[in-house]
Amino acid sequence: MNEINTDSSDLAFLVRHWGRTKQITGPDGQGTLSGQYKKLLEEVGELGQALMEDNACELIDSIGDCAVVLILLADMQGLRFEECLRDAYDVIKQRTGRMEDGVFVKDA
């Protein structure tokens, strides 16, 4: 049986490959940045619905779908999602702040 390593970098690779195969991205890609942004908003809406309904299966699916769209959006811009995530982490890792009404508010 041919197993696929499912660590995050391999999954991102598979998502990028899927995007090219479906002609969303890559040399034959017909996807647009505005189209991917609209798709992200759609997926975020589904995420919100899953949260409101306390639906764990839909929550998992929606989070994954948002990640897929972000990976493809980064790819369309010539960026690697993993590098974007690393850059964001490098910014927040030393951040200080406090929790207010269930949201982390960074110090000025």
CA-closest candidate to residue 12, choices 90, 91, 79: 79
Q: What are the residue ranges spanned by the domains of the chain?
A: 32-106
Asked if residue 1 has pLDDT above 50, the reply is no
Token pair 């960026």 in the structure block, residue: 79
pLDDT for 42-66, tens place per residue? 999 999 999 999 999 999 999 999 9
Residue 75 CA to residue 24 CA, distance in Å, equals 10
- For the domain made up of 32-106, give the CATH fold: Helix Hairpins (1.10.287)
Residue 17 CA to residue 42 CA, distance in Å, equals 22
CA-closest candidate to residue 81, choices 30, 11, 1: 11
pLDDT for 2-36, tens place per residue? 555 666 669 999 999 999 999 999 999 999 999 99
Look up the pTM and report it. Answer: 0.87
Residue 32 CA to residue 30 CA, distance in Å, equals 7
* Residues in CB range of 24: below 8 A, 6 or more apart: 30, 31, 36, 72
Residue 2 CA to residue 61 CA, distance in Å, equals 24
- The torsion defined by the Cα of 5, 8, 14 and 19, in degrees rounded to 10, comes to 170
